[in-house]
Amino acid sequence: MTAAPSPRSDRIVEFSADQFRERLNEAVRIYVNAMGYPPSTAQQRAPMWSAHMLRAGWRCVGALTADDELLGVGYGYLGHPGQWWHEQVRRGILARSPGSAEEWLTDYFELTELHVRPDSQGSGLGEEILRRLLDGAAGSKVLLSTPEGPTRAWRLYRRIGFQDVLRHYQFTGDPRPFAVLGRALPLEPRQGS
């Protein structure tokens, strides 16, 4: 018995803040399912994601089926001192490699979220969203954090050329170890393109 094919994206689109607000609950459900979080996590994330839309350089890309169903989403913005993630990463870098904090934490796009519905993972959709999101993103580099471990996301980031900035770091409020990865922008064209 073979599994039914997963839905394939018919189009990758850039969302305005208003368009993303209309799909916020759908996007947060994808996040919760992709990360394996309890459903109650959505109540905390939706307001945070709404606040992120107000940040400088915010941009969002989604993958939609022909029936306008959201399969995946990615967004980010310019990182700045005073933002929670920036300050957490700065603290971690200063503790381990003080000289590289300024190098990485200046003029960067923070890839805040990138998630694909579990039944659509493994088809290249995450890379399509990532490339479209970073094409024209503000900043001379991009930074992200991802849980440590051999995951599809981890393999994607390595394939795209992300390097270690900070490894086995624990963000306040999360017991899991994370890697902070970064690379220069723009991305090189996909091989074969």
CATH number, domain containing residue 70: 3.40.630.30
154-177, pLDDT tens digit by residue?
999 999 999 999 999 999 988 899
Q: Are 59 and 19 in contact (CB under 8 A)?
A: no
Give the Cα separation of 99 and 3 in Å (integer). Answer: 51
Give a yes or no: residue 135 inside a domain: yes
First to last CA, the chain: 35
57-98, pLDDT tens digit by residue?
999 999 999 999 999 999 999 999 999 999 999 999 999 988
Residue 84 class from Cβ within 10 Å (0-12 exposed, 13-18 middle, 19+ buried)?
A: exposed
Give the Cα separation of 192 and 69 in Å (integer). Answer: 29
Q: How many domains does the chain have?
A: 1
Q: Are 144 and 181 in contact (CB under 8 A)?
A: yes
Whole domain around residue 156: which residue ranges? 11-184
Task: Give the chain's radius of gyration (CA, Å).
Answer: 16
Give a yes or no: residue 116 inside a domain: yes
The pLDDT value recorded for residue 5 is: 43
Q: What is the mean pLDDT of residues 38-54?
A: 94
Extract the tokens encoding 40. Answer: 């109650």
Instruction: Indicate if the pLDDT at residue 7 is higher than 50.
Output: no
Give a yes or no: residue 32 inside a domain: yes
Q: Are 19 and 73 in contact (CB under 8 A)?
A: no
Instruction: Indicate if the pLDDT at residue 142 is higher than 70.
Output: yes
Token pair 């969002």: residue? 60
Instruction: Indicate if the pLDDT at residue 45 is higher than 60.
Output: yes
The pLDDT value recorded for residue 74 is: 98
Q: Which alpha helices (H) appear in 53-107, and where do they start and end? A: 84-96, 101-104
Mark whether 77 is an active-site residue: no
> Of the candidates 103, 81, 73, which has an alpha carbon nearest to the alpha carbon of residue 183?
103
Percent of the chain clearing pLDDT 70 (strictly above): 94
Give a yes or no: residue 139 inside a domain: yes
| Single pTM value for the model | 0.91
Give a yes or no: residue 49 inside a domain: yes
110-134, pLDDT tens digit by residue?
999 999 999 999 999 999 999 999 9
> Of the candidates 92, 78, 104, 55, which has an alpha carbon nearest to the alpha carbon of residue 178?
92
Give a yes or no: residue 128 inside a domain: yes
Given the residues 75, 77, 157, 169, the one annotated as active site: 157
The pLDDT value recorded for residue 136 is: 87
Q: Report the half-sphere exposure of 137 (CA within 13 A, side-chain side).
A: 33
Instruction: Indicate if the pLDDT at residue 4 is higher than 50.
Output: no
Q: How confident is the model at residue 99 (pLDDT cuts 50, 70, 90)?
A: confident
